[in-house]
Amino acid sequence: MANNPEKQVCIFTKEQLDSIKTGYDDWFNNVLKDGDREEELAGKYFTHSGIPVKMVHTPADVSHIDYTEDIGYPGCAPYVRGVYPNMYRGRPFTVRQLAGLGAPEDCNLRIKYLLQHGANGVNILFDLPTIRGYNSDDAEAEGNVGHCGAAVDSIWDMDAYFKDIDLGTISTSIVTHLPSTSIVIPGMYFAVAEQRGTPKDKIAGTCQNDFIMETCVGSGPEILPPPVSFRLQCDVVQFVCQNYARFNPISYNGYNLREAGTNAVQEVAIAISNGIATAEELLKRGMNVDDFAPRMSFFWDLHNDFFEEIAKCRASRKVWYKIMKERFGAKKPKSMLMRFHVQTAGVTLPATEPLNNVARSALQGLAATFGGCQSLHIDSYDEAYSAPTEEAALISLRTQQIIQAETGVINTVDPLAGSYYLEYLTDEMVKRIFDYIKKIEDMGGLVTAVENGWLHREIANYNLKYQKKIENGEMKVVGVNYFRAEEGSAREIEVFEYPETYTRQKAKLDRLRKERSEQKVKESLKILADKCHTDENLYPYTLEAVKNLVTLGEIEELFREQFGLWTFPLIN
Amino acid sequence: MTRPIKVVMAKLGLDIHWRGVYLVSQFLRDAGMDVVYIGNKFPEQIVEAVMQEDADVVGMSTLGGNHHSLGLKTVRLLKEGGLDNVKVFMGGVIPPKHVPALLEGGVNRVFLPDTPMQTIIDVVNGSVSV
């Protein structure tokens, strides 16, 4: 905010503002009906995260905002209006739908299907054993192989995933979630690209790599301690920044924080706190902020509160800009601009009358467009049943295309800017995000906040409050607790099932174990185990291991042995 | 003299999202039950916890597709351990057409998405006499 009144470039002069305030008072006292006035004075309306909402917002609510300094122009500081000057006129947001079910060979067909229907990026998903670092034939994997995503055990599977697809022409989001697998699975992708002769600088994409996913948002039977997971997260960022110019080594996952149970302010503040922690660690390792900050990306969840979600997107860019510039002294503009992927909120999609979810997701996708996202996944209506079926996935893809091609909303940049309500919310959101970041820092930073279980309790408390509002009807869910659907109106949804995935993966693993050099496997694992106890970056060693046909499960088992396990809070 | 119903709640195997299972645990606790949340566990470990806690009820949450394999395995192990009287409930993202097989396998009730918490509380309360 501008403190220097001479510099202030407010939209309204002082005289105009005085007249607006007088007009508002007149309206409030003489036009509003008594009951409405009392209700407004009682302050009954709030956004989802708790920001007060007035019946009518006026220029008086945004009179302290300096247009040039606080809002500005797209592609210019503080990036409230977007990260590129021409935004979607230059290139609409990337249509990036999820693809992942069964075995890699099945996913390969789905990826080709999506690319043929106009998608220009892909999101690849893994089954739970792969996500948590087990081979398909490990005992822990029983019953989960090929569900909710594809099984990837070795570099052979990555090769099959992208059979006949040029890795130099697509952008791939590798949804690894955990740092402990982000140091392995994207490495398989890099190694496949190398084998096919794709130049390093043509490899584009993102991996998720977020220690909060490993230690807080997701749970599992065996969890690495937060400081270890955080170290691996930073190893991935450092190595990828130094080797792959077009690959984003981290996507701070606000999305799953939100789905797990936070509001919009917490979602952004926690993800940015992780960005701060990463930056501090990499500076300690001798890197320059401008060498890694341009490669950091974020991932937001677009939930139901339409205007608050748009405000969140705009506010998050400003907070990141200020932190990178003022706190870390970044020089390159690219270091200060926050790029983010959006997924619509799966948690808002009930199983009851599932086709209604097409409408919910379209509205959330529209909010993402107004928020200036760089890429978008629109959830499918069958979210509460399974990973999307082909029909459902196509409707999501078409919804994105309808927003882009038919509504006209992408023809002008940040079209809702200047709305008194939206600018008021954006400004409030910026303040509240900074306050929550400070709370985390005062506690000793994000790794500490996770280690001592504070963040887990924040999430659990939020969920209890939110769920009580659904149970008592205060928060309306159409068809569920509001205009309740009749019994039996559930639609029978076909779910994908790949019972043969386990057998196929098992056969491949057996063949792999026969064909690989056990000598090389042992050597790679021995070196990796030794390096775990040094300060060295582990990525070169995991990369070497996957090239030597060491499996994901073997590397993860090694981490668990070398680093030990941590007990998830909340367990009693 | 009645004692509170003792409930062991678990996330089944590698399943990841704990929001639902922890919420149900909190609501059952608020309804006066004695609830122990044991986190992510495999069938053998769940049965061990049920034995140790002398539980009346076990609740298993799964969103990722292991309801058949690990869910039914838990029921089988409970029976083998002589714990037939323990009531077994499951909840999460389970395709409705898979429910009959789970019930046939010995699960007492499957709670699908959108089930009101009060329904779960009532069903659990009604399933056990203490």
Helices (H), chain B: 19-30, 43-53, 72-80, 99-104, 117-127
CB contact under 8 A, B22 and A570: yes
Residue A171: strand, helix, or coil: strand
SS (H, E, C) A120-165: CEEEECECHHHHCCCCCCCHHHCCCCCCCCECCCCHHHHHHHCCCC
Q: Which residue among B17, B37, B113 places its CB closest to the CB of A572?
A: B37
Residue from A441, A442, A370 nearest A407 by CA? A370
Count other Cβ atoms within 10 Å, centred on residue A490. Answer: 16
For the segment A383-402, what is each residue's pLDDT rounded down to a tens digit?
Answer: 888 777 778 988 999 999 99
Q: What's the rounded mean pLDDT across residues A48-56?
A: 97
H or E stretch including A104? helix A104-116
CB contact under 8 A, B114 and A386: no
Query: Whole-model pTM?
Result: 0.95
Return per-residue pLDDT of chain B as tens, 130 residues: 589 999 999 999 999 999 999 999 999 999 999 999 999 999 999 999 999 999 999 999 999 889 999 999 999 999 999 999 999 999 999 988 899 999 999 999 999 999 999 999 999 999 998 7
For the segment A509-536, what is each residue's pLDDT rounded down to a tens digit?
Answer: 999 999 999 999 999 999 999 999 999 9
Give the integer Cα–Cα distance in Å for A513 and B71.
31
Give the integer Cα–Cα distance in Å for A138 and A182.
20
Burial string for A91-117 (b: 16+ CB within 10 Å, else e) reads ebbbbbbbbbbbbbebbbebbeebbee
Q: Which residue among A144, A347, A471 places its CB closest to the CB of B66?
A: A144
Predicted pLDDT at A3: 47
Environment class of residue A22 by beta-carbon count within 10 Å: exposed (0-12), middle (13-18) or buried (19+)?
A: exposed
Task: Count Cα atoms within 13 angstroms, Cβ side, for A372.
Answer: 30
Say what the ipTM of the complex is.
0.95
Residue A535: strand, helix, or coil: coil
A477 → chain B, closest CA residue: B114
Cβ A120 vs Cβ A171: under 8 Å: yes
Predicted pLDDT at A395: 95
Residue A534: strand, helix, or coil: coil
CB contact under 8 A, A463 and B23: yes
Give the integer Cα–Cα distance in Å for A203 and A239.
14
Q: Which residue among B40, B69, B93 places its CB closest to the CB of A221?
A: B40
Query: What sign for the dihedral angle of Cα A82, A87, A93, A94?
Result: negative
Conformational region of residue A298, where left means phi above 0, alpha means psi within -120 to 50, and beta covers everything else: beta
Burial string for A371-404 (b: 16+ CB within 10 Å, else e) reads bbbbbbbbbbbbbbbbbbbeebbbbbbbbbeebb
Q: What is the DSSP string of A375-400?
A: EEEPPPTTTTTSSPPHHHHHHHHHHH
Beta strands in A420-553 (DSSP E): none
Question: Does pLDDT of A165 surpass 60?
Answer: yes
Q: Which residue among A142, A260, A460 places its CB closest to the CB of B69?
A: A142
Q: Which residue among B11, B68, B116 places its CB closest to the CB of A219?
A: B11
CA distance B110 to chain A (A): 14
Give the integer Cα–Cα distance in Å for B105 and B56.
19
CB contact under 8 A, A129 and B18: no
CB contact under 8 A, B117 and A471: yes
For the segment A310-328, what is each residue's pLDDT rounded down to a tens digit?
Answer: 999 999 999 999 999 999 9
SS (H, E, C) A321-379: HHHHHHHCCCCCHHHHCCEEEEEECHHHCCCCCCCHHHHHHHHHHHHHHHCCCCEEECC
Strand A296-302: give its sheet, edge to edge.
A247-248, A204-207, A171-174, A121-124, A94-99, A375-377, A339-344, A296-302, A250-253
Q: Which residue among A260, A384, A492 places its CB closest to the CB of B19?
A: A260
pLDDT band of A368, cuts 50, 70, 90 = very high
Give the integer Cα–Cα distance in Å for A71 and B37.
47
For the segment A429-475, what is each residue's pLDDT rounded down to a tens digit?
Answer: 999 999 999 999 999 999 999 999 999 999 999 999 999 999 999 99
For A317, phi then psi, to 5°, come to -65, -40
Query: What sign for the dihedral angle of Cα A346, A349, A355, A358?
Result: negative
B30 → chain A, closest CA residue: A464
Cβ A177 vs Cβ A187: under 8 Å: no
Question: Does pLDDT of A9 surpass 60?
Answer: no
Chain A positions contacting chain B at CB under 8 Å are 127-129, 131-132, 134, 140-144, 147-148, 218-221, 259-261, 347, 350-352, 384-386, 459-460, 463-464, 467, 471, 480-481, 490, 492-493, 495, 568, 570-572
For the segment A288-313, what is each residue's pLDDT rounded down to a tens digit?
Answer: 999 999 999 999 999 999 999 999 99
Predicted pLDDT at B101: 96
Using an 8 Å CB-CB cutoff, list chain A residues near B112. Answer: 351
CB contact under 8 A, A219 and B23: no
Residue that the structure tokens 């697998």 belong to: A181
Cα–Cα separations (whole angstroms), residue A84 to A72, A90, B108:
12, 9, 56
| Residues linked to residue A250 through DSSP beta bridges, in sequence order | A296
Taking CB atoms within 8 Å and a gap of at least 24, the contacts of A33-41 are none
Picking from B6, B14, B42, B75 by the largest number of A CB atoms within 10 A of its own CB, the best residue to mutate is: B14
For the segment A470-505, what is each residue's pLDDT rounded down to a tens digit?
Answer: 999 999 999 999 998 876 555 566 666 667 889 999
For A240, phi then psi, to 5°, come to -65, -40
Give the integer Cα–Cα distance in Å for B67 and B103.
11
Two tokens at A233?
């997260």
Cβ A194 vs Cβ A179: under 8 Å: no
Two tokens at A85?
């000057």
Chain B positions contacting chain A at CB under 8 Å are 11, 13-19, 22-23, 26-27, 36-42, 64-66, 68-70, 93, 95-97, 112-114, 116-118
Burial string for A177-196 (b: 16+ CB within 10 Å, else e) reads bbbbbbbbbbbbbbbbbeee
Contacts of A288 by beta carbon, 8 Å cutoff, 6+ apart: none
Cα angle A273, A277, A282; round to 5: 145
